[in-house]
Structure 1
Amino acid sequence: MSKAIRLNVASKYKRHFQSGYPLVTEESVQRLPKGIEEGAIIDLVDENNRFIGKGYYGKQNKGRGWVLTNNQHEEIDEPFFAKKFKAALKRREDLFNDPDTTAFRVFNGEGDGIGGITIDYYDGFYVVSWYSEGVYTFKDTVVQALMKTADVKGLYEKKRFAVKGTYIEDDDFVAGERASFPLMVKENGINYPIYLNEGAMVGVFLDQRHVRKTIRDKYAEGKTVLNTFSYTGAFSVAAALGGASKTTSVDLANRSKSKTIEMFSVNGIYYEAQDIIVEDVFNYFKYAVRKQLKFDMVILDPPSFARSKKHTFSARKDYPELLAQAIQITGKNGIIVASSNCSTFNMKKFKGFIQKAFQQTGGSYKILEEFTLPEDFRTIKEFKEGDYLKVAFIQKL
């Protein structure tokens, strides 16, 4: 093991790290040595050279590395990773034992003790996502630890980091046996066709599990449902299985149509009775207002940032305006499922967006239910940014 590089913590961040904050940023240390290599082991020390924490260097968004342990003598090696994986798998025992759910997150980065890496489970197959070149230098050690700890049928990986200015979104088979695609998984009894070999997005966002179940079990029956930014139509299928009278799925990506058709088909739903539209959501809203269309339920789950030929959308700036457009085409007493995965604002601010949108449209509302991340997307209180998901079921009064 090479010698750890010592980094002096900036005084105003000292308590931060001592209380368990795991993300190392450029501002939080006094100086980053020139030429520090991705994956280098780092020791954080205070102004008196007293040890605070040990981790690794790796550029990830605003971060420059993660603290992994407060034990100066602990090695970041295979037993270290195996111990973390074993604890994470134990926490998900209930999900492993649920025959109706065969896809979920088994390791959630800093929430499970190792920032920069997530691991998802798809009916025996595991997918490791690497968020920095730094954590990727531990690949062999991580893979060996996981293969020894979990019952891995096959292992895939997603590289989600930039190398020399080029963004990599590569995916590779790593070990075990190769899956046949589509790989069929279940979530609360709903079937999802999964493709582990088609880039970062495999077919369903696992963090919305409880939201989809709630739509199906409590809100969809007899409703006309508009699902915007619909991707593969997972929300639409949940609504249809819950007895929705009709679903309309709108997404700009051409592939969304065939993916949504497949999603309906594997769940025994006649897709031709549903509307599946390839269109810019902002254009569709204008069309719906012009045609005076009204829906009983509108699902709004945009990406944090999106760009089309005519529109650029940033959740932080533009969510209230987007929500205001959704309000216009929601019927009286209708439900808006407003969701955001943007980590730069919290639920309190999100509720401010909701209030602003209703003030703009002159209507009143009631928030019926709220959701954050499900239990398999484990977070820690010291790192609030990790709890990024905000979902509100809003009734338009």
Structure 2
Amino acid sequence: MTKTTRLNVKKDFAKILKSGFPLISKDAITAYEGIQEGTIIELFDGQQFIGKGYFGVQNKGIGWILTRKRDERLDQSFFDQRLKKAFERRRDLFIDESTTAFRVFNGEGDGIGGLTIDYYDGYYVVSWYSEGIYTFKKQVIDSLLSLFDVKGIYEKKRFDVKGKYIEDDDFVAGERATFPLIVKQNDIQFATYLNEGAMVGVFLDQREVRNTIKNKYAKGKHVLNTFSYTGAFSVAAALGGAVKTTSVDLANRSKPKTIEQFQVNGIDVEAQDIIVEDVFNYFHYAVRKKLSFDMVILDPPSFARSKKHTFSAGKDYPALLEQAIAITKRDGIIIASSNCSTFGMNKFKGFIEKAFKATKGKYKIIEEYSLPSDFPTMKEYKEGNYLKVVFIQKLG
């Protein structure tokens, strides 16, 4: 039987937790020293029960509220019900022949903070964001195996020990996949590797954005894709009829990974440019060589560091946009994206305004995207709706 511990909430934090906010911050609790990861905790404001959850330290807090019912047990039945309900919400995706990779459980948006589950053509990848939620591994895996048709299960321990991501074999149960495992999103194919560390080869949350690039904006365009990772945006643009794509990323592995993504989609790799370079250096090079593009895609990590540059989205995004504006043709499109959870869409639009003001340019916002339907969030927890994508037309 998992131990249950009562914790008292400070007065200043009681109201927000009572309103439905699911994340427990360390500052919200009067004392929590000595509590073991995975301990079931009951939160109280004096004698008033607030909620029940688990203790698990991650970068966002020290645990999550999972239920507002004191008598609800966090047992196998609880996990079965939450996973079953989440899968029902994705029923249409499971029968969509054009898409075989998507999220099937999105943390607090599906009722269990600190846990995500992704689907890759019959294989499931479970990501654990703290040692606390990892103590419930048996319940989660048993739910998957008993309720659904599972080829195999892999896991990602996204909590770090001594500052390092835990890299194990990642395989958990069922049968091992043959890699690369080819999956689809809106008929765009992706080579994935479920056993190669934290990232498997494609970011599932950009599904709708890639489809829009392919179907509405790429035809006849010269496209620059920065921070390109495995080139997923470039593939979408090429399939949509782009004249040429240029993919730029600092990581050495980005080039062979991008080549592979082009190849699995039948795209002529030789007709594309794939450059291993610091994006900021490439911007300077492009200005020096008077290069310009019809479409520039900006999807940087929230934080990045190279030998010469440090990038923090909350501080440096306007300057990044200024550099993109300089090499975007008149009436061209800039696709600005950020997955940083510390600011919302309004502030992001403020970054766009600031950048165009600094360059004395004019612009028009023509489309906006946040997380797709398989990434549900809670209105009480705005930080969970982290993705912001804006299609900007440069007018002058």
TM bracket, shorter-chain basis = over 0.9
| Matching residue of 1:7 | 7
| Matching residue of 2:203 | 205
1:278-293 matches, within 5 Å, as: 278-293=276-291
| Matching residue of 2:223 | 225
Q: Provide the rounded CA distance (Å) in 2 between the counterparts of 1:218 and 1:86.
A: 36
Runs of 4+ in 1 over 3 A off after TM superposition: 164-167
Aligned partner (choices 230, 253, 256) of residue 255 of structure 1: 253
Unaligned stretches of 5+ residues in structure 1: none
* CA deviation after TM superposition for structure 1 residue 2, in Å: 3.6
Q: Provide the rounded CA distance (Å) in 1 between the counterparts of 2:358 and 2:61.
A: 37
The one-character-per-residue Cα deviations of 1:306-353 (angstroms, maximum 9, x if unpaired) are 011111111011000000000000000000000000000000000000
TM-score by length of 1: 0.98
Q: Provide the rounded CA distance (Å) in 1 between the counterparts of 2:9 and 2:147.
A: 35
| Matching residue of 1:240 | 238
Aligned partner (choices 146, 149, 152) of residue 150 of structure 2: 152
| Matching residue of 2:71 | 73
| Matching residue of 1:22 | 22
Contact 1:300 1:339 in 2 (8 A): yes
RMSD: 1.0
| Matching residue of 2:44 | 45
Contact 2:157 2:165 in 1 (8 A): no
User: Would the alpha carbon gap of residues 52 and 59 (structure 1) be closer, same or farther in structure 2, given more than 3 Å must change?
Assistant: same
* CA deviation after TM superposition for structure 1 residue 166, in Å: 4.2
| Matching residue of 1:355 | 353
| Matching residue of 1:318 | 316
* CA deviation after TM superposition for structure 1 residue 150, in Å: 1.7
TM-score by length of 2: 0.98
The one-character-per-residue Cα deviations of 1:69-89 (angstroms, maximum 9, x if unpaired) are 111111111111010000000
Q: AA paired with 1:173?
A: F
User: Would the alpha carbon gap of residues 234 and 165 (structure 1) be closer, same or farther in structure 2, given more than 3 Å must change?
Assistant: closer
* CA deviation after TM superposition for structure 1 residue 290, in Å: 0.3
Q: Provide the rounded CA distance (Å) in 2 between the counterparts of 1:320 and 1:95.
A: 36
Q: Provide the rounded CA distance (Å) in 1 between the counterparts of 2:67 and 2:199.
A: 31
Q: AA paired with 2:71?
A: H
Q: Provide the rounded CA distance (Å) in 2 between the counterparts of 1:179 and 1:362.
A: 52
Q: AA paired with 2:43?
A: L
**SS of the counterpart of 1:37?**
coil
Q: AA paired with 1:46?
A: D
Q: Provide the rounded CA distance (Å) in 2 between the counterparts of 1:155 and 1:75.
A: 26
The one-character-per-residue Cα deviations of 1:122-174 (angstroms, maximum 9, x if unpaired) are 00000000000110011112111121122111000000112355442445100
Q: Provide the rounded CA distance (Å) in 2 between the counterparts of 1:111 and 1:99.
A: 25
| Matching residue of 2:342 | 344
Contact 1:160 1:170 in 2 (8 A): no
Q: Provide the rounded CA distance (Å) in 2 between the counterparts of 1:104 and 1:2.
A: 32
Q: Provide the rounded CA distance (Å) in 2 between the counterparts of 1:152 and 1:108.
A: 18
| Matching residue of 1:172 | 170
Q: AA paired with 1:374?
A: P
| Matching residue of 2:365 | 367
Contact 1:340 1:389 in 2 (8 A): yes
Q: Provide the rounded CA distance (Å) in 2 between the counterparts of 1:103 and 1:166.
A: 28
1:51-66 matches, within 5 Å, as: 51-66=49-64
Q: Provide the rounded CA distance (Å) in 2 between the counterparts of 1:109 and 1:178.
A: 25
| Matching residue of 1:294 | 292
| Matching residue of 2:374 | 376
**SS of the counterpart of 1:159?**
strand
Q: Provide the rounded CA distance (Å) in 1 between the counterparts of 2:269 and 2:67.
A: 51
Q: Provide the rounded CA distance (Å) in 1 between the counterparts of 2:66 and 2:110.
A: 10
Q: AA paired with 1:108?
A: N
